[in-house]
Amino acid sequence: MFQSLSDRLSGIFDGLTGRGALSEDDVNKALREVRRALIEADVSLEVVRGFVEQVRDRAVGAEVTKSITPGQQVVKIVNDELVAVLGTEAVPLDLKSTPPVAVMMVGLQGAGKTTATGKIAKRLKEKQGKKVLLASLDTRRPAAMEQLKVLGDQVGVDTLEIIKGQSAVEIAKRAQKEAKLGGYDVLFLDTAGRTHIDEELMAETAEIKAATNPHEILLVADALTGQDAVNLARSFDERVAITGIMLTRIDGDGRGGAALSMRAVTGKPIKLLGTGEKLEDLEDFHPSRVADRILG
């Protein structure tokens, strides 16, 4: 379905071998293909523009080494630049604080927050022997609270008792108290999402943050978000200063351009990837793998 950047560029530089450096004209032709590849990979237009300019700066006048073709040279520059923007190494979830360490999960409804909470809780319990408490703050959807309870039972970690009639902030405070009293290492606050960003969602998220001061605020976003990724990441980051991003549905058809968009506008690390519906489907983020996927 997708054409790789290498394939796109292979025709462009025919007849160029033997020259020492990439000229501005060669680079412009190549950058048109780079732009197209990034847009097809769902990178936001705003981010594509900035990124292409960065690549141009590095590519014009770059020496073409004898061992590779000019096309390969451009692919290498694009790849290096992608990894530089995505982050050169994986940044793990930071739980180095006095327990119970609160991790707040934010994002739109259906992004995969609750599933992500279950996945991370499972990993922390099984790989690090952490005592984990889960709390759903979704007061509008009783089904979401039940869903978290079912996941907690599946994983074998505790969920905060559901008491009807409390506000999200009240539940969050109760969860913190319970986590402290119960000697928990980590507390997950699974916030309510909406189908789109609105003032009510942002105000509630900010209020929960102010009341609980979480150590990590993880924005959970669907990898297929596309052009909205920039707006989504910027809105949450401006309002609650996220500490990291988890991209879900990496197992889908998309190329994950949202990773580049979100990282570029917030500068916040992508920490984790959701790779399927099962609780085991959780991976650390590796910039080079995502860069390869974006370029095809």
Chain positions 276 to 295 lying near ligand GDP, rule: CB under 6 A, are 276-277, 281
Chain positions 36 to 65 lying near ligand GDP, rule: CB under 6 A, are none
Please report where in the chains the tokens 């000019």 appear, as a residue: 70
Q: How far is the CB of 42 from ligand GDP (least distance, A)?
A: 16
Q: Closest CB to ligand GDP among 77 and 106?
A: 106
- Does 112 help bind ligand GDP (rule: CB under 6 A)? yes
Among 109, 166, 227, 235, binds ligand GDP (CB under 6 A): 109
Q: Which stretch binds ligand GDP (CB under 6 A): 60-68, 111-119, 197-205, 258-266?
A: 111-119
Chain positions 171 to 210 lying near ligand GDP, rule: CB under 6 A, are 193
Among 31, 48, 77, 111, binds ligand GDP (CB under 6 A): 111
Pairing of strands 158-159, 270-274: unpaired
**Pair of tokens at residue 92:** 């793990």
DSSP conformation class of 71? H
H or E element at residue 64? none
- Does 110 help bind ligand GDP (rule: CB under 6 A)? yes
CB atoms within 10 A of CB 17: 10
Q: Tell the burial category of 161 from Cβ atoms under 10 Å away from its Cβ (0-12, 13-18, 19+).
A: exposed
DSSP code string of 15-37: T-TT-SB--HHHHHHHHHHHHHH
Q: Which stretch binds ligand GDP (CB under 6 A): 61-69, 205-213, 231-239, 270-278?
A: 270-278
Paired with 245 in beta bridges are 219, 270
Q: How far is the CB of 107 from ligand GDP (least distance, A)?
A: 6
Binding site membership: which residues? 107-114, 190-194, 248-251
- Does 274 help bind ligand GDP (rule: CB under 6 A)? yes
- Closest CA relative to residue 271, chosen from 279, 263, 47: 263
Question: Strand, helix or coil at 214?
Answer: coil
Q: Which stretch binds ligand GDP (CB under 6 A): 12-20, 79-87, 107-115, 285-293?
A: 107-115
Q: Closest CB to ligand GDP among 37 and 157?
A: 157
How many chain residues interact with ligand GDP (CB under 6 A)?
Answer: 17
- Does 152 help bind ligand GDP (rule: CB under 6 A)? no
Site string for ligand GDP, 235-254 (x = CB under 6 A): -------------xx-x---
Comparing every residue's Cβ against ligand GDP, the nearest one is: 274
Alpha-helical regions (H) of the chain: 5-10, 24-40, 45-59, 70-86, 113-128, 142-155, 168-181, 199-212, 229-240, 257-266, 287-295
Q: At what angle do helices 45-59 and 257-266 cross, to 10 degrees?
A: 80
Phi-psi region of 207 (alpha: psi -120 to 50; beta: other; left: phi over 0): alpha
- Does 225 help bind ligand GDP (rule: CB under 6 A)? no
Binding site membership for GTP: which residues? 107-114, 190-194, 248-251
Q: Closest CB to ligand GDP among 110 and 183?
A: 110
**Pair of tokens at residue 119:** 């996945």
- Does 99 help bind ligand GDP (rule: CB under 6 A)? no
* Residues making contact with ligand GDP (CB under 6 A): 107, 109-115, 193, 248-249, 251, 274-277, 281
